[in-house]
Amino acid sequence: MKSSSLIKRVIGALTLLMVAVLFAGCSSAKGASKKVVHISYWHVNAQTQGGASVDELVKNFNKTHKYIKVTAKYNPNMYQGLMQNLQSAQASGKVPDLVQVGWAYTNYFASNFKYLTPTDAQSKFDNSKTFISKNFTSRTLSFAKDSKNKLVGLPYSLSTPILYYNKTMLAKYGIDASSLSTWEGVSAAAKKIKAASGNYGLYIQEPADTWAQQALQLSNGAQIKKNGKAVFASAAGVKAYQFYQDMVVKDKTALHTPWAQGIDDFVNGKVAIAYTTVAQASHIKKSANFDVEAITSPHFAGHKATVPVGGSMLAITAQKTEQQKAAWTFEKYLYQNSSLVTWSKGTGYLPPTASAMSSQAFKSYLSENPMLKPAASQIKTAVPWTSFPKNGLQAEQTMIDTRDKILSGSNVQTTLKAAQEKINEQQK
């Protein structure tokens, strides 16, 4: 009794196994060339910051591409958070296939992770080999190059800092917005507002990077980096920072406070002018209960306005050819004009390709959101985000520390000089 039931069980199991093998054989025979490839795409867009458009794009792609299935994964805490997750993924050996990399991490990413450059992807998978050159200008591509001048990924989200102003307040104190095209003009306006109302005139964003402060120095003809070395403590660089410190410390016409509070103060009508990223446009528009407008980044008298670009690139981290090809296909889909416009509308970033920028859909979006126009016009002259070849993240921290010290009143020249030496020491 006992043994016969055992035999029955064994036979049953064997039959099941055979059927399974048969079916498996069937499916593999049929789909040998057309197996569904699964890839994962890591992004930083929370639901309120374009996450919905990521989902929409992925859904449409999966619908139109039968043999590729993309899964999008949201990484909290922006590019820094994504980089932290990517490290644990690398340590566990299970990396995603396509990732967004913030500009500040270009060199760190390039020297520590395995990735497929867009140039290699193009020559490996495309017949025509013109996708990159047809869609991107050489200036745009320069944003995504590492210190060895190698293209690490393709630029995906672009942003620039712009000058927002409280039109209602400026009109009240008789300040003409056209005077804000130079930093000297901004300072004069801020003085007038401070004297008349007691409110602050200016707030320059202070997140955990010195993007906006670099724009200030660059627009006085200074350079941040030259031949891989820090050179921001030049006479022009010192002068720009001195100007900023005077507004904060001496005149008290500019506000020095963390980013979120500074933007709150602007939308609550306590600061007349805010210098921050275009990505804040929709938040500012929604929260301000006064007329708000934006103009291009100011410059110092006698110099040209120069802004570093913000945002991210897409890099292929897939290791197998199959996945790399699928990631490249998905990437090309994301760079179609219609996809880029959806992306722009969802995030407030500017599209990276010339044809999307000049597409009818994007143009009509711009005319509905005039605050994005100055940012779009600046892209043509923007420069890459400063990324030092070695210890780049520590260099950025040094520049943040420098900003903190200068805005608390320490000597501009010696502080900048010390920071420059510290960074250059770490480049050896």
Partner 1 sequence: MNSRSSKKNKFLTFAYLAPTAIILLVFMIIPIIYTLYLSFFDWNLIAPTKDFVGLENYISIFTDPVNQKVLLNTVFYIVLLLVLNFLIPYFISIVVKFFIGKMQSSYKIIFFIPSLFSLVVGAMLFSWIMNPVSGPIAFFMRQLGVSLPNWTNSGAMAIVVLCLMTNWKVFGYNFVLLLTGLGSVPQNIIDATKMDSIPKWRMIWDIVLPLNKSIAFYVLILTIVQGLQYVFTPISVITQGGPYYGSSNVLYHTYLNAFVLYKTGNASALAVITFLIFLVLLYLEIKFVEGRADRYE
The single residue listed with the structure tokens 């917005």 is: 177
Residue 241: closest CA among 261, 258, 224, 263? 224
Counting contacts by CB under 8 A, is residue 428 touching partner 1? no
Q: Rounded to a whole number, what is the distance in angstroms from the first to the last CA of the chain?
A: 81
Residue 223 or 397 having the CB closest to partner 1: 397
Segment interacting with partner 1 (CB under 8 A) among 23-31, 46-54, 338-346, 397-405: 397-405
- Least gap, CB of 195 to partner 1 (angstroms): 17
Q: Are 407 and 326 in contact (CB under 8 A)?
A: no
DSSP secondary structure code for residue 145 in this structure: B
Counting contacts by CB under 8 A, is residue 25 touching partner 1? no
Counting contacts by CB under 8 A, is residue 405 touching partner 1? yes
The single residue listed with the structure tokens 């990159």 is: 132
Distances (CA, A) of 30 to 69, 84, 92, 267, 325: 19, 41, 34, 61, 21
CA-to-CA distance for 261 and 238, rounded, in angstroms? Answer: 27
CB atoms within 10 A of CB 182: 17
- Least gap, CB of 259 to partner 1 (angstroms): 10
Residue 231: closest CA among 421, 426, 407, 427? 421
Which residues, 356 to 395, sit near partner 1 by CB under 8 A? Answer: 393-394
Counting contacts by CB under 8 A, is residue 65 touching partner 1? no
Count of residues making up the chain: 428
> In 3-state terms, what secondary structure has residue 1?
coil
Site string for partner 1, 259-288 (x = CB under 8 A): -xx--xx--xxxx-----------------
Counting contacts by CB under 8 A, is residue 255 touching partner 1? yes
Counting contacts by CB under 8 A, is residue 87 touching partner 1? yes
Counting contacts by CB under 8 A, is residue 197 touching partner 1? no
Counting contacts by CB under 8 A, is residue 196 touching partner 1? no
Q: Residue 35 is encoded by which pair of tokens? A: 């197996």
- Cβ contacts of 91 within 8 Å, gap of 6 or more: none
Residue 256 or 299 having the CB closest to partner 1: 256
- Least gap, CB of 118 to partner 1 (angstroms): 22
- Least gap, CB of 228 to partner 1 (angstroms): 19
Counting contacts by CB under 8 A, is residue 1 touching partner 1? no
Contact residues for partner 1, defined by CB under 8 A: 80, 84, 87, 90-91, 108, 112-113, 200, 208, 255-258, 260-261, 264-265, 268-271, 393-394, 397, 401, 404-405, 407-408
